[in-house]
Amino acid sequence: MGTIYILWLRQLKRYMRSHSRIIGSLGQPLLFLLALGYGFGPIFQKAGQGNYLEFLAPGVIAMTILFTSIFSGIEIIWDRQFGFLKETLVAPASRLDIMIGRTLGGATVATIQGIIVLLISIVAGFRPTNYVLLPVAILIMALIALLFTALGTAIASLLEDMQGFQMIMNFLVMPLFFLSGALFPLQGLPEAIILFSSLNPLSYGVDGLRGALIGQIYFGFGIDFLVLAGVSALFLAVGSYLFSKIQV
């Protein structure tokens, strides 16, 4: 437990010291909120779907967590190239503890980013319909962060260069985001799109956030939590196995 806590705290300290990283990671969510939220708002309203900014904000929060958490895996490659990972692995601690500590640290950072974007969304005009469910929304944020941080760790454990990681992540992240229902409702879509969205774990995170923040839900809270928790456990297991096989 001591190793897990130390690595978790190390990740937080890295994040707090990197002011440029904090500010830079907010650029894309702000662009989506302002450009899409207000740009497509009149069209969305004319279609009888209500306020597009309120619909979009949960999706942008999920997008922020996805990007932050999955790209946290690149720190493993960075540490491996500069020798920091070797120093960590030769410490008297199990690799499982090291992996869990790094994953929890990355997930905590991603959750904080999601909360910051939620606050920015409120400043931009977004209004949750039920503030009582905010703790539920934060719990869903944490599950999304844990799931994709574990996935990023698993993929980074297989790679040795940052360019390869970025190519794989770009190929993976954009379909995950665009097929999650973050930008459009899932109701009434072609069956093929609904099928891909149903296989996408981020869809259940977006759905849970939207249900907690604005009361619109597609799959249901029970299914959302079940899928997020189950896939998180699976990715943690896979990530732990792959991390244990790293050669430095």
Are residues 69 and 209 in contact, defined by beta-carbon separation less than 8 angstroms?
no
Instruction: Identify the residue with better confidence: 88 or 140.
Output: 140
Give percent above pLDDT 90 in the chain: 27
Position with higher pLDDT, 90 vs 235? 235
d(C-alpha 228, C-alpha 185), whole Å: 20
Tell me what pLDDT residue 205 has. 95
Task: Identify the pLDDT of residue 203.
Answer: 94
Answer yes or no: pTM beyond 0.75. Answer: yes
Cα separations in angstroms, 148 against 73, 135, 206: 9, 20, 13
- Residue 157 sits in which domain range? 2-244
pLDDT of residue 89: 61
Whole-number pLDDT of residue 199: 93
> Between the ranges 81-95, 165-179, 206-220, where is the mean pLDDT highest?
206-220
CB 109 within 8 A of CB 15: yes
Total structural domains within the chain? 1
Task: pLDDT band for 186, please (50, 70, 90 cuts).
Answer: confident
CB crowding 92-109: b at 16 or more within 10 Å, else e: ebeeebbbbbbbbbbbbb
